[in-house]
Amino acid sequence: MSPSPLIGRSHAAIGTLFLALALAGCASTGGLQPAAQVRDADSHAVARSLAGATLSEAAFPAQDWWRAFGDPQLDALVAEALDGSPSLVAADARLRKARAQAGLAEAARKPSVGASAQYAVAQLPESLAGDEIGGELMHNAVLMLNFDWPLDVWGGRRADYEAALGQARASEVDAQAARLALAANVSRAYIALAQAFESQDLARREQERSERLLQLSRQRVDAGIDGALSLRNAEGAIASAKAQAEAARQQVDALRNTLAALLGKGPDRGLDIARPRLLQAPAPTLPGTLPSELLGHRPDVVAARWRVEAAARGIDSAKATFKPSIDLSGLVGLASAGFSDLFDGDALLGFGGPAVSLPVFDAGARRNRLDARNADYDLAVASYNQGVVEALHEVTDAVQAIRSLDAQERSLQDARASAEAALQLAEGRYRAGIGSQLEVLAAQRPLLQVEQQLAALRAQRYLATVDLDRALGGGLSFDAPATAPTDPESNS
CATH number for the domain harbouring residue 136: 2.20.200.10
Same domain, 80 and 128: no
Q: How many CB atoms lie within 10 A of CB 49?
A: 14
Same domain, 352 and 479: no
Q: CATH number of the domain that 213 lies in?
A: 1.20.1600.10
Same domain, 257 and 166: yes
Rounded CA separation 56/53 (Å): 10
Which residue type occupies 374? N
Q: Tell me the pLDDT of the chain (492 aa) as tens digits.
A: 445 544 455 555 555 555 555 554 445 666 677 777 777 666 565 656 666 555 445 567 888 889 988 899 999 999 999 987 787 888 888 888 888 888 888 888 888 888 888 878 877 777 776 677 766 777 777 888 888 888 878 888 888 888 888 888 888 888 888 899 999 999 999 999 999 999 999 989 888 888 887 787 777 777 777 667 767 877 787 888 889 889 989 999 999 999 999 999 999 999 999 999 987 776 766 665 566 666 678 888 889 999 999 999 999 888 888 888 888 888 887 777 766 667 766 777 777 788 888 777 777 888 888 889 899 999 999 999 898 889 888 888 888 888 888 889 899 999 999 999 988 988 888 788 777 777 888 888 888 899 999 999 999 999 998 998 898 888 887 776 765 555 565 544
145 within domain boundaries:
yes
Same domain, 291 and 232: yes
Residue 160: domain span? 20-109+152-323+358-491
82 within domain boundaries:
yes
Q: Is the peptide bond prior to 291 cis by the omega test (within 30 degrees of 0)?
A: yes
The pLDDT of residue 42 is 62
* Number of domains observed in the structure of the chain: 2
227 within domain boundaries:
yes
Which residue type occupies 201? D
267 within domain boundaries:
yes
Same domain, 373 and 390: yes
389 within domain boundaries:
yes
Same domain, 367 and 468: yes
Contacts (Cβ under 8 Å, ≥6 apart) of 451: 202, 416
4 within domain boundaries:
no
The pLDDT of residue 25 is 47
The pLDDT of residue 308 is 92
**Three-class HEC string of the chain:** CCCCHHHHHHHHHHHHHHHHHHHHCCCCCCCCCCCCCCCCHHHCCCCCCCCCCEEECCCCCCCCHHHHHCCHHHHHHHHHHHHHCHHHHHHHHHHHHHHHHHHHHHHCCCCEEEEEEEEEEEECCHHHHHHHHCCCEEEEEEEEEEEEEEECCCCHHHHHHHHHHHHHHHHHHHHHHHHHHHHHHHHHHHHHHHHHHHHHHHHHHHHHHHHHHHHHHHHHHHCCCCCHHHHHHHHHHHHHHHHHHHHHHHHHHHHHHHHHHHCCCCHHHHHCCCCCCCCCCCCCEEECCCCHHHHHCCHHHHHHHHHHHHHHHHHHHHHHCCCCEEEEEEEEEEEECCHHHCCCHHHEEEEEEEEEECCCCCCCHHHHHHHHHHHHHHHHHHHHHHHHHHHHHHHHHHHHHHHHHHHHHHHHHHHHHHHHHHHHHHHHHHHCCCCCHHHHHHHHHHHHHHHHHHHHHHHHHHHHHHHHHHHCCCCCCCCCCCCCCCCHHHHC
The pLDDT of residue 487 is 57
The pLDDT of residue 413 is 92
Domain end call among 338, 357, 376:
357
The pLDDT of residue 488 is 62
Same domain, 143 and 68: no
Same domain, 103 and 237: yes
198 within domain boundaries:
yes
Same domain, 99 and 205: yes
Same domain, 335 and 454: no
Same domain, 126 and 50: no
14 within domain boundaries:
no
Give which of 20, 44, 157 is closest to 102, Cα–Cα.
Answer: 157
Same domain, 163 and 118: no
pTM (2 d.p.): 0.78
